[in-house]
A and B are shown apart, each in its own frame.
Chain A
Amino acid sequence: MDTPVVELKDVSFSYGGPKVLEKVNIKVEKGDFFALIGPNGAAKTTLMKIMLGLVVPDEGEVKLFGKNVKSFRQWHKIAYVPQHGGQINLSFPATVREVVASGLFGKNRPLKGKSLEEAVKKALATVGIEHLAARLIGELSGGQRQKVLLARCLVGNPEVVFLDEPTSGVDAESQQEFYDLLDRLNKERGLTVVMITHDIGTACGIANKIGCVKGGKVDIHENTKDITEDHIAEIMGYSIKKQRTK
């Protein structure tokens, strides 16, 4: 069996007060589509940042591709889109092409010149926004900006993508397009996806593994069909009608 892409063992964390995460254990395998759901303030974003080494837990161990996150160096295998698209500065004077290319500016990504141009073109084509290449990032709609960030995420051919509420502020049609694209990348390319979402219906439809975060605990469901309306209502504090698209 392959080494898990992400592994959390007995991870606990607090912001100085009560623990917001307590003895959390998660294993994300290669090719998984892992959705993290939970009410606002449940520490989903903190959990994702712990996975990425951006936040250091008080206790427990975090591994990426079998390596402790502190000594992990193969960052080219990983891509991340933060919440609200990283609060993009809309006056940032960069074209879509420049933003997507910046996905190759990290360590171990030595592409330059023509090969960089080719990689950017391919990433733009994958998410269907070649026509926006020369536009400024600040001129795009919310949905288009999310696609640009996804293209930046994909340009380095990562093995796993971490997405924190990637469709917040995006219209329903663009949301569906975005999820369809992720579903395709997961199934066709074997891309591992770790995604925080409030869209539980879609999460249940495309994810093969769901983590319900509440009260510092993460309840893992390996079979999304196990998740009932009542369970979701209990976790989220409200009831929804699931839309299973699978």
Chain B
Amino acid sequence: MEIFKYSFMVRAFAAGIASALVTSSIGVFVVLRRMSMVGDSLSHASLAGVAAGMLFGFYPFYGAVAFSVLAALLVEFVRATFKRYAEIALAVVMSASMGAAVVMISLGRSFNADIFSYLFGSLMAVAEEDIKLIIILGAFVLVALYILRRQLFSIAFDEETARVSGIPVNKVNVLFSILTALTLAISVRIVGTLLVTALLVIPAAVSLQLARSFNSAILISNVVAVFSVVTGLCISFYFDLAPGGTIVLIASAVLFVVLIGKRRVGKGGI
């Protein structure tokens, strides 16, 4: 196929599929824990990291990873301070991250074109170095999720009972936030910081509509995400469109088809 003759497309597919598997796996837990807004806060932090990298001369992708992990820890810290208003933590971190990103972008006026590729994702921009980092961090997140799957299931199902069963809920929550931050950071290269939350949430939303068990929910979410990424990358290649937007539109279309299909067979919504 013509599309695979270009090395940048092969890299885009590798990075895209790896990102899809990781985001869609952790996404099921994120959605079940009603933490979808966390994705927005952390992805804005990753944009600040990208801007910091460009401004201070280190690799922007490393900045995205470091800033989103720091933001995850900050969310947990603020959440612990405002226990009864946990959403304040997300708003504070998102606003502060966006403020930092805007200030750094305005300081480095010359990198507007580069920052655009991180905002909306890019096919051309995935470098060999990115692939290595995406695969290493992606594998780390998947292994950590596998090890923590039982604890995460219990906490997502009923946090109080999980505490009484001896699960160290606070520690697992901090670890989960860090894993979510890493997931978002490795996905910004393909999907972009503004749209990465969609890849976290939409495949999981589809899986909640169709799954007949928890394991099947993860599998369905994986399939929808990989399908959306592969189809989205092909369409964006042939029609010269931004990959992030195309991927998210495909995933959204899958969700609407499933919702309409379910309504037609009279099973209702989530």
Contacts and interface: CB of A to CB of B under 8 A. Distances in A.
B208 A91 contact: yes
A206 B153 CA distance: 34
Nearest to B34: A89
Contacts of B207: 93
Contacts of A82: 158, 160-161
Interface string A71-99: 00101101111100010110111110011
A105 B212 contact: no
Given A75-B164, A81-B161, A98-B214, 7 more contacts: A80-B160, A80-B165, A82-B161, A93-B216, A95-B214, A102-B157, A156-B165
A81 to B, nearest CB: 7
B208 A93 contact: yes
Interface of B: 32, 150-151, 153-154, 156-158, 160-167, 207-208, 211-214, 216-217, 270
Contacts of A81: 161
A3 B164 CA distance: 20
26 contacts: A54-B160, A54-B164, A75-B165, A76-B165, A80-B160, A82-B160, A86-B157, A88-B157, A88-B158, A91-B208, A93-B207, A93-B211, A93-B213, A93-B214, A94-B157, A94-B213, A95-B212, A98-B153, A98-B214, A102-B150, A102-B154, A105-B167, A106-B165, A107-B165, A109-B165, A156-B165
Nearest to A102: B154
Contacts of A105: 150-151, 153-154, 162, 165, 167
Contacts of A223: none
Contacts of A78: 164-165
A156 B214 CA distance: 21
